[in-house]
């Protein structure tokens, strides 16, 4: 699975992730008690986080997904985002909670929040597993945040590098192994 020069190193262990997901679920349950929120996951990165999170929410939730693509240079977000796969669920008047794996420049998330806001939900909030605040290009308010990250490209727990590593159970980073 790995090439010998790039060994994943654990940045946030599965135990820490588990505790944090439980903490986020508790905050969400408290705020949405008596409501029927619609959780919208951004594909593909959020699917592992969302699967763990919803199983801790004893609320009458529904889920849907949107797939976005940001095009331009392969490694840098161009700021041009488009909806590749839209919502199947009408959101007018719904309490919508967007589930994101990572907020980096903020371009993807802010595009999506603006797109959803135009559909007139009753409320619209954001839950992000991770945040890289120092990379931000547009402001984004994160209502429920798991971890603030250092300046590293992370993989695992749904997050990819060129579509690989989504299946790692821990949040990892790739360390160049100079000795090999």
Q: For residue 145, give the nearest of 10, 23, 15, 1 by alpha carbon.
A: 23
Q: Which helix (H) or strand (E) holds 64?
A: strand 62-71
Kindly name the residue from 31, 104, 143, 170 that is annotated as catalytic. Answer: 104
8 A C-beta contact, residue 166 and residue 44: yes
With H, G, I as helix, E, B as strand and everything else as coil, classify residue 133. Answer: helix
Q: For ligand IMP, give the closer residue by CB, 20 or 105.
A: 105
With H, G, I as helix, E, B as strand and everything else as coil, classify residue 165. Answer: coil
To Mg ion, the closest distance from the beta carbon of 109 in angstroms equals: 9
To ligand IMP, the closest distance from the beta carbon of 33 in angstroms equals: 29
Could you confirm whether 64 is annotated as catalytic? no
Q: For ligand IMP, give the closer residue by CB, 32 or 49.
A: 49
To ligand IMP, the closest distance from the beta carbon of 32 in angstroms equals: 24
45 binds Mg ion (CB under 5 A): yes
Q: Among all residues, which ones are annotated catalytic?
A: 104
């Amino acid at each position: 699975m790995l090439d010998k020069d790039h060994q994943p190193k654990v940045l946030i262990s599965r135990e820490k992730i588990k505790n944090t997901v439980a903490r986020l679920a508790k905050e969400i349950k408290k705020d949405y008690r008596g409501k029927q929120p619609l959780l919208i996951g951004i594909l593909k990165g959020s699917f592992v986080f969302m699967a763990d999170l919803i199983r801790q929410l004893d609320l009458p939730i529904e889920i849907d997904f949107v797939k976005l693509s940001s095009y331009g240079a392969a490694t840098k977000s161009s700021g041009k985002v488009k909806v590749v796969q839209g919502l199947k669920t009408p959101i007018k008047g719904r309490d919508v909670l967007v589930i994101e794996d990572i907020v980096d420049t903020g371009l993807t998330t802010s595009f999506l929040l603006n797109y959803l806001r135009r559909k007139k939900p009753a409320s619209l909030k954001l839950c992000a597993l991770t945040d890289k605040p120092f990379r931000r290009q547009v402001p984004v308010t994160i209502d429920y945040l798991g971890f603030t990250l250092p300046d590293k490209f992370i993989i695992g727990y749904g997050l990819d590098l060129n579509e690989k590593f989504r299946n790692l159970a821990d949040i990892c980073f790739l360390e160049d192994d100079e000795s090999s």
